[in-house]
Chain A
């Protein structure tokens, strides 16, 4: 893999770097790769000049071979990447995918005085995809649409066309926190595939249509560099790794059973039930004891009347 994309993946793995330092690392590595490419270009020209000493020739050829291998590897391993997850946390969604724009991927193929455009092609990644070629026989880019390819099923369709992103001064991701700058940063840094929900059904729409993708489907993406005046493909990246959109579950499958009863509920219920039982038992006991004791006063009054009678009899007897 090229050093720049490898470094980017490593930085993405270590999540704690700030967005600003992340992008600074990215640009310095890309610029050093550019320097490597220019030295390789220079070294390609040197063997054709004058006679060199044999050791110098050998070292030059070694450097050339290594440089060329590195350059080939660098170009061949450039793929569209997902936007930085620290910036776009909701990615991919059910029907959209946000991709990073191709910063510094095509710089070796750019000539200063010509105007270029970058086309984005989208294709479903399945075994039954018929063709994955984005150019026709005369190196012109394919002009397929979403409807023609049945949403990328039959082959790649063109989803977008935009200007070459600025490699020298890329947008600073740290500016994404600023309300005033965030729109510009997002627009320059990433592209959202599937953003336009109305262009499919709008008969007046003439631009490139970017309709929503299908959920739970794997897609692959490719950037293509096109020369505007000649209209031919100058360079293209590889197809990206397969990226799958989200799958949505049905809400009626959500289990709402609360599970075990909480301890508080058990405590309250049991203690209150026991207390109600005790109160009823107490009520019955007191009513019962009241009924039982209400029979006794008749015995007591009998006893009292007997003693009074006896006390009355005694004075009578004594008086007699």
Chain B
């Protein structure tokens, strides 16, 4: 009697955990009615965790591909760890995908060793994803307007570069800012007066009378020339761009950082529950 009761309870448990792991319980296991009712109420979408892994990979590939071209700015500030977090996210997504298949096989076979391997590998993946989330969230805090302002003033159109690395970063920053100013019709970080209030590497090679601010701050015609240079230099409204570029920079970077951090956090919460359940199930079958 006791054995039967224990076996029935065990079967209930087994079937319900299979349901939560996202596999379709096979017909031979649908013997207990209670288990069946439990299962039907808990039947989650097919391959739920596989989808999480694929989604994480896809999101992180999108961020790493840098559609807004802002990576050179971060590389020059030596603060590009939100990209590192996205790279980790890609590999964690693949790992989640692979491990979910392993987990499904382990639960179907009720194999003690497979499930133990699954639990340990999932814990390692969990740790990596946790590192990615915390990195993205922490380094997002460093991206302040002053950081970009200082870097723009020190690197934009810098002429005397020390070494190859410096030259490469300077070229990256200059090209990125030129594109930003042209595409978003903006100037400077807070506004064009950034160029007037601070000395800069740009000011060393371009005198204030001819270039109070870079000519990319002027309103351009279709041939990428300022429509009226005198109007732009004097600051006549309508001939220069008076708004700052900080929104165009911080918007995409914030979305990337919060996307990696919070989506990873959500996946980890879900994985936490599943792992705890798997451990509990493993301890039940491991005798």
**A interface, CB within 8 angstroms of B:** 83, 86-91, 93-96, 98, 176-177, 179, 182-183, 186, 190, 192, 194-197, 212, 215, 246, 248-252, 254-256, 258-259, 261-262, 264-265, 268-269, 271-273, 275-276, 278-280, 282-283, 285-287, 289-290, 293-294, 296-297
Q: How far is the CA of A278 from the CA of B126 in the complex (A)?
A: 12
| CB <8 Å contact, B283 and A286 | yes
| CB <8 Å contact, A90 and B233 | yes
Residues of B within 8 A of A282 (CB): 275-276, 279-280
| CB <8 Å contact, B227 and A261 | no
| CB <8 Å contact, B231 and A268 | no
Residues of B within 8 A of A290 (CB): 282-283, 286-287
| CB <8 Å contact, A248 and B282 | no
A-B contact pairs, 27 of them (CB 8 A): A89-B234, A90-B196, A90-B233, A93-B212, A98-B234, A186-B231, A212-B207, A212-B208, A248-B196, A248-B203, A250-B198, A251-B154, A254-B149, A254-B150, A258-B142, A258-B147, A259-B144, A261-B138, A262-B141, A271-B265, A272-B134, A272-B265, A278-B276, A279-B126, A279-B272, A279-B275, A293-B286
Q: Given A269-B137, A276-B130, do A91 and B234 touch, yes or no (CB 8 Å)?
A: yes
B85 to nearest A CB, angstroms? 11
CB < 8 Å: which of A186, A212, A252, A280 contacts B230? A186
| CB <8 Å contact, B198 and A248 | yes
Q: How far is the CA of A96 from the CA of B123 in the complex (A)?
A: 65
Residues of B within 8 A of A256 (CB): 144, 146-147, 150
Residues of A within 8 A of B286 (CB): 286, 290, 293-294
Residues of A within 8 A of B282 (CB): 286, 290
Chain A residue nearest in CB terms to B277: A282
| CB <8 Å contact, A87 and B236 | yes
CB < 8 Å: which of A89, A186, A273, A279 contacts B237? A89
Beyond the given A262-B137, A275-B268, A283-B120, could you list 14 further A-B residue pairs with CB under 8 A, ordered by the A residue number?
A: A90-B235, A179-B228, A182-B230, A183-B231, A186-B230, A192-B234, A258-B147, A272-B133, A273-B130, A279-B272, A283-B123, A287-B283, A290-B282, A296-B287
B119 CB-CB contact with A under 8 Å: yes
CB < 8 Å: which of B127, B199, B238 contacts A251? B199
Residues of A within 8 A of B197 (CB): 246, 248-249
> Residues 153-196 of chain B: 1 if any A CB is under 8 Å from the residue's CB, otherwise 0?
11000000000000000000000000000000000000011001
Chain A residue nearest in CB terms to B273: A275
Q: How far is the CA of A246 from the CA of B143 in the complex (A)?
A: 29
| CB <8 Å contact, A286 and B279 | yes
Q: How far is the CA of A183 from the CA of B232 in the complex (A)?
A: 11
A63 to nearest B CB, angstroms? 44
Residues of B within 8 A of A215 (CB): 208
Residues of A within 8 A of B269 (CB): 275
Q: Given A88-B236, A186-B236, do A251 and B198 touch, yes or no (CB 8 Å)?
A: yes
Residues of A within 8 A of B276 (CB): 278-279, 282
| CB <8 Å contact, B209 and A264 | no
Number of interface residues of B (CB under 8 A): 61
Q: How far is the CA of A89 from the CA of B146 in the complex (A)?
A: 24
Residues of B within 8 A of A258 (CB): 141-144, 147
Q: How far is the CA of A212 from the CA of B85 in the complex (A)?
A: 50
B200 CB-CB contact with A under 8 Å: yes
Chain B residue nearest in CB terms to A290: B286
A172 to nearest B CB, angstroms? 14
Q: How far is the CA of A251 from the CA of B261 in the complex (A)?
A: 32
| CB <8 Å contact, A196 and B119 | no
Which of B231, B239, B280: most chain A Cβ within 10 A? Answer: B231
Residues of A within 8 A of B230 (CB): 182-183, 186
Which of B196, B208, B261: most chain A Cβ within 10 A? Answer: B208
Residues of B within 8 A of A90 (CB): 192-193, 196, 212, 233-235
Q: How far is the CA of A92 from the CA of B194 in the complex (A)?
A: 15
Chain A residue nearest in CB terms to B234: A88
B215 CB-CB contact with A under 8 Å: no
| CB <8 Å contact, B236 and A249 | no
| CB <8 Å contact, B123 and A265 | no
Chain A residue nearest in CB terms to B112: A290
Residues of A within 8 A of B199 (CB): 248-251
Q: How far is the CA of A190 from the CA of B236 in the complex (A)?
A: 12
| CB <8 Å contact, B142 and A176 | no
| CB <8 Å contact, A182 and B231 | yes
> Residues 249-263 of chain B: 1 if any A CB is under 8 Å from the residue's CB, otherwise 0?
000000000100110
Q: How far is the CA of A194 from the CA of B233 in the complex (A)?
A: 12
B48 CB-CB contact with A under 8 Å: no
CB < 8 Å: which of A186, A246, A249, A296 contacts B234? A186
Which of A91, A186, A272: most chain B Cβ within 10 A? Answer: A272
Residues of A within 8 A of B193 (CB): 90
B50 CB-CB contact with A under 8 Å: no
Q: How far is the CA of A297 from the CA of B287 in the complex (A)?
A: 8
| CB <8 Å contact, A289 and B236 | no
CB < 8 Å: which of A93, A186, A261, A297 contacts B196? A93
Residues of B within 8 A of A196 (CB): 209
